[in-house]
Amino acid sequence: MKTKFYKSSKTLALGMSLLFGVTSGTAQDGSQLFQTNCAACHKTTDGKLVGPGMAGITEKRSTEWLKSWIKDSQAMIASGDPDAKAISAEYNNMVMPPFTQFSGAEMDALITYLGTLGAGSGTDTAQMVDIVYSDVEIAEGKKYFTGEKSFFNGGPSCISCHDVSADGVVGGYLAKDLTDVYARLGEAGIMAMITNAPFPAMNSAYKNNPVSGPEQKSLSAFLKSVSANQPENRSSSVITFLAYGFGGFFVLLILIMLIWNKRKKHSVKEQIFARQIRSIN
Ligand code: HEC
Ligand code: HEC
């Protein structure tokens, strides 16, 4: 029994080392690393997705700069590096996740791969197009978002982790509110996120139950409608809130003044005191 266990754990260890051997072997492949870790946010062309396109990046930045940026961009921004600060400001201080897990060899493979994406790797203007969705797509997207309609492959509905400001939607708080996400990421960004989220919780939710293209498109339609309806709604509701607030405040003030005016002009104690003074004199 004991030896059997020993043997099987030895096999397990061997299996594990093989597995790790294999993963670190493929991980040397910079293109593969890019696909799994970066492609949700970066295109290999000069087109914007969540972050800037990577075409020509090794001509724009030095290898050392790229390595420290990829490892921990926030630390680099905090250190005051002018290029890091500028690119972060250009993207509204959006945070790129740190990649501290890469080995030296993996980082080199990634940079080598980035080097193959020369400045001429393609121009991309798809993001600039204002996509017009039908009401049907928007309504479908809302159903998928809230779970009223299930995804074909059975992944969880977005509402289990995300909220948006829209009528009849009360979502989860595990992850970010998605009200303004369309304005920031656009359809391509949202679809890239759903396909290959760089966040473990969301990624594992859909890894084995991918959301289909048309389902993603309708979600994007819904998120666009939410995003587009927001700014006026929000500012007008703030004004209404303030108006009610001030109105209420003045009504209260008037009530207090009325009540105050009705009270006795002098307190009872004052009258007793006055009588006592008189009796002493
Ligand atoms: C969740 C989205 C996200 C992921 C994943 C991501 N990035 Fe970024 N990246 C950004 C954003 C946004 C910026 C723009 C700067 C900022 O706001 O921090 C950026 C900026 C960059 C820059 C600087 C570009 C310039 O013009 O200087 C490089 C280089 C970069 N990313 C490489 C990578 C690599 C390589 C990976 C994968 C290992 C990766 N990024 C993963 C979002 C992401
Ligand atoms: C299991 C939980 C979970 C589910 C389900 C889920 N997400 Fe996410 N999502 C996350 C997490 C975690 C993040 C990372 C951002 C954060 O920390 O809030 C994220 C980020 C995002 C982002 C990027 C947000 C940004 O501001 O950059 C988008 C877009 C997004 N999710 C869309 C969706 C859509 C659409 C669905 C439904 C198909 C969905 N998510 C389902 C957990 C989830």
Structure token digits, residue 109: 């493979």
Residue whose C-alpha is closest to residue 217's, from 169, 257, 255, 182 = 182
pLDDT digit string, tens, across residues 136-168: 999 999 999 999 999 999 999 999 999 998 887
Residue 1 predicted with pLDDT over 60: no
pLDDT at 217: 95
Return the residue whose CA atom lies nearest to atom 10 of ligand 2. Answer: 202
Q: How would residue 74 be classed by pLDDT, with cut points 50, 70 and 90? A: very high
Q: Which helix (H) or strand (E) holds 183?
A: helix 181-195
Alpha carbons 218 and 187: distance in angstroms, whole number: 10
- Percentage of residues of the chain with pLDDT beyond 70: 72
Point out the ligand nearest to the CA of residue 201.
Answer: 2
Homologous superfamily of 2-128 in CATH?
Cytochrome c-like domain (1.10.760.10)
Domains 2-128 and 135-232 share a fold: yes
pLDDT digit string, tens, across residues 195-219: 888 788 888 999 899 999 999 999 9
Q: Does domain 135-232 fall into CATH 3.40.50.300?
A: no
Residue 122 predicted with pLDDT over 80: no
φ, ψ of residue 106 in degrees (nearest 5): -65, -45
Which atom belonging to ligand 2 lies closest to the Cα atom of 211? 38
The residue to mutate among 193, 195, 212, 220, having the most atoms of ligand 2 within 8 angstroms of its beta carbon, is 193
Residue whose C-alpha is closest to residue 210's, from 224, 191, 182, 184 = 191
How many other CB atoms are there within 10 angstroms of residue 164's CB atom? 24
The residue to mutate among 29, 31, 32, 38, having the most atoms of ligand 1 within 8 angstroms of its beta carbon, is 38
Amino acid at 40: A
Domain residue limits, the chain: 2-128, 135-232, 240-280
Residues 6+ apart with CB under 8 A from 77: 84, 85, 88
Point out the ligand nearest to the CA of residue 181.
Answer: 2
Point out the ligand nearest to the CA of residue 49.
Answer: 1
pTM: 0.59
Residue 135 predicted with pLDDT over 50: yes
Q: Give residues (CB < 6 A) around ligand 2.
A: 156, 158, 160-162, 174-176, 178, 181, 185, 190, 193-194, 197, 199, 201-202, 205, 211, 219
Q: 3-state DSSP: the chain helix, strand, coil percent, rounded to 5?
A: 65, 0, 35
pLDDT digit string, tens, across residues 225-265: 998 876 554 444 555 555 666 666 666 677 677 766 766 66
pLDDT at 250: 65
Residue 107 predicted with pLDDT over 50: yes
Q: Which of 1-5, 95-99, 241-245 has the highest mean pLDDT?
A: 95-99
**Cα end-to-end span (Å), the chain:** 112
Q: Which helix (H) or strand (E) holds 216?
A: helix 213-262
